[in-house]
């Protein structure tokens, strides 16, 4: 066992949790590659857990078979290899071809695991514990494992490197190259174990074999995990940004809703509870932006030309987009006051933001955020100076 074991276990456990989260949040048909990748991390974590001395001893005592933890751990490693190659097949081939390849990989994995179990029980127990036995059953046992393990790692090395050349996203290509390099390093373990089995390497070289195996496993785990980490980071950013945007639109929405309560067709759940439950607020955010526009429409009869003209003069030094947002915010303040006092405009005008292009949802949201920011700052200024023309009317 090398010093990298705890890190390998940590990465495998993290990968399984993140993939499980992705599977749980995926409302569409389950992605086979995603499911296989989650199983890869689970199998990897279990194999590293079994290799911990206390767990190893407990397994042996539970089954009543000395060193039974060894073929069990190796069987989980074979499951890791089977799932890893299947994942790459789903990434590299068409779905039908990938399914056929995965079936062959799992069939081969089952044969290898059966072979390990059969040959294990032929090995003299005392000799097996030394890892230096030259007896045919041990040679057969280790040969089966090394051959299957090396074949899987060679497949990963070649396929991931080839696939990286075809991928257009740079960070995905790098993750595939990391997997390829990691798989290549693990082959060093196979070379050393084979040399030891043939009497060509001293037992002291086995420490290097452990290091190659763990370092390679660590790199492949990181390579597979990188796309998942990027996806989870993007999802987390989107979730946090939506909540932040929803909050920033709050003061403007509340003012418009107070003037026209009918704009709220669907009551949104409290943001605090949605946030604490880590739920998306996307629909409520969409409703809030729509209701703000509906509220602005309700105020259009109260948009006076003089209020817009004076606001444009005050904010003329701003850029076009900021000026339009600032003027629109002032128009809303004046319209709210006029609405409260029942003074519709003689000749209503348009909102200043009508001249700002907002052809996409993202552009529209940015425009509303600008208006909301100016609305909030103007309200704060009016509160500090009661004599201001933007001061709220006294009810």
Q: Which residue has the tokens 């299947």?
A: 86
Q: Distance between CA atoms of 217 and 215, rounded to whole angstroms? A: 5
Q: How confident is the model at residue 121 (pLDDT cuts 50, 70, 90)?
A: confident
Q: Distance between CA atoms of 257 and 198, rounded to whole angstroms? A: 82
Q: Which pLDDT does position 386 carry in this prediction?
A: 61
State the pTM of this model: 0.71
Least confident piece of the model among 174-188, 265-279, 356-370: 265-279
Domain segments of the chain: what residues? 5-238, 249-384
Question: Domain 5-238's class?
Answer: mainly alpha
What token pair was written down for 179?
Answer: 């997997």
Q: Which pLDDT does position 123 carry in this prediction?
A: 80
Q: Which pLDDT does position 393 carry in this prediction?
A: 45
| pLDDT at residue 266 greater than cutoff 50 | yes
Would the CA dihedral through 138, 7, 78, 92 be positive or negative?
negative
Residue 18 — φ and ψ, nearest 5°? -65, -40
Q: Which pLDDT does position 394 carry in this prediction?
A: 38
Q: Which pLDDT does position 209 carry in this prediction?
A: 82
Q: Distance between CA atoms of 154 and 209, rounded to whole angstroms? A: 17
Mean pLDDT over each residue of the chain, to the nearest integer: 87
Q: Distance between CA atoms of 356 and 285, rounded to whole angstroms? A: 22
Q: Which residue has the tokens 């190893």?
A: 56
Q: Distance between CA atoms of 270 and 167, rounded to whole angstroms? A: 43
Q: How confident is the model at residue 195 (pLDDT cuts 50, 70, 90)?
A: confident
Per-residue model confidence as pLDDT tens digits over 204-248: 777 788 788 889 989 999 998 888 888 888 888 999 999 999 999
* 123 vs 306, more confident: 306
Q: Distance between CA atoms of 366 and 324, rounded to whole angstroms? A: 12
Q: Which residue has the tokens 């084979």?
A: 194
Q: Distance between CA atoms of 288 and 278, rounded to whole angstroms? A: 19
Give how far Cα 149 sits from Cα of 80, 132, 167, 192, Å.
10, 20, 26, 13
Q: Distance between CA atoms of 336 and 303, rounded to whole angstroms? A: 9
Q: What is the mean pLDDT of residues 178-203?
A: 84
Packed helices 5-25 and 32-50: angle between N→C axes, nearest 10 degrees: 150
Exposure pattern of 176-202 as b/e (b: 16+ CB <10 Å)?
bbbbbbbbbbbbbbbbbbbebbeeebe
Decide: 172 and 136 in contact? Cβ < 8 Å. no
What token pair was written down for 335?
Answer: 């319209």
């Amino acid at each position: 066992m090398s010093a990298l074991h705890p890190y390998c276990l940590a990465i495998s456990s993290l990968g399984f949790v993140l993939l499980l989260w992705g599977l749980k949040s995926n409302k569409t048909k389950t992605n086979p590659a995603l499911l296989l990748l989650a199983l890869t991390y689970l199998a990897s974590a279990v194999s590293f857990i079994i290799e911990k001395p206390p767990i190893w001893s407990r397994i042996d005592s539970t089954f009543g078979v000395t060193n039974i933890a060894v073929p069990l751990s190796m069987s989980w490693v074979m499951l890791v290899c089977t799932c890893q190659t299947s994942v790459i097949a789903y990434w590299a081939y068409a779905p039908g071809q990938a399914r056929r390849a995965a079936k062959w990989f799992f069939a081969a994995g089952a044969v290898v695991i059966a072979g390990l179990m059969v040959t294990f029980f032929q090995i003299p127990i005392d000799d097996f514990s030394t890892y230096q036995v030259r007896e045919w059953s041990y040679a057969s046992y280790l040969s089966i494992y090394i051959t299957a393990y090396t074949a899987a790692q060679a497949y990963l090395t070649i396929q991931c490197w080839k696939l990286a050349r075809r991928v257009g996203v740079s960070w995905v290509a790098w993750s595939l190259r990391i997997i390829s390099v990691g798989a290549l390093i693990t082959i060093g373990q196979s070379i050393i174990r084979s040399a030891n089995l043939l009497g060509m390497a001293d037992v002291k070289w086995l420490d290097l074999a452990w290091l190659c195996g763990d370092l390679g496993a660590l790199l492949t785990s990181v390579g597979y995990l990188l796309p998942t980490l990027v996806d989870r980071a993007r999802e987390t950013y989107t979730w946090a940004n939506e909540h932040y945007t929803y909050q920033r639109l709050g003061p403007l929405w509340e003012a418009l809703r107070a003037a026209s309560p009918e704009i709220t067709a669907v009551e949104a759940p409290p943001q605090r509870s949605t946030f604490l439950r880590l739920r998306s607020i996307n629909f409520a955010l969409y409703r809030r932006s729509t209701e703000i526009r509906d509220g602005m429409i309700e105020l259009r009869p109260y948009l006076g030309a003089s209020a817009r003209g004076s606001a444009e003069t005050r904010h003329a030094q701003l850029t076009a987009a900021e000026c339009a947002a600032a003027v629109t915010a002032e128009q809303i303040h004046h319209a709210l006051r006029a609405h409260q006092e029942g003074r519709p405009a003689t000749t209503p005008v348009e909102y200043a933001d009508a001249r700002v292009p907002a052809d996409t949802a993202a552009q529209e949201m940015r425009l509303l955020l600008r208006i909301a920011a100016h609305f909030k700052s103007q309200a704060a200024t009016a509160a500090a100076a009661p004599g201001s023309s933007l001061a709220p009317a006294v009810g």
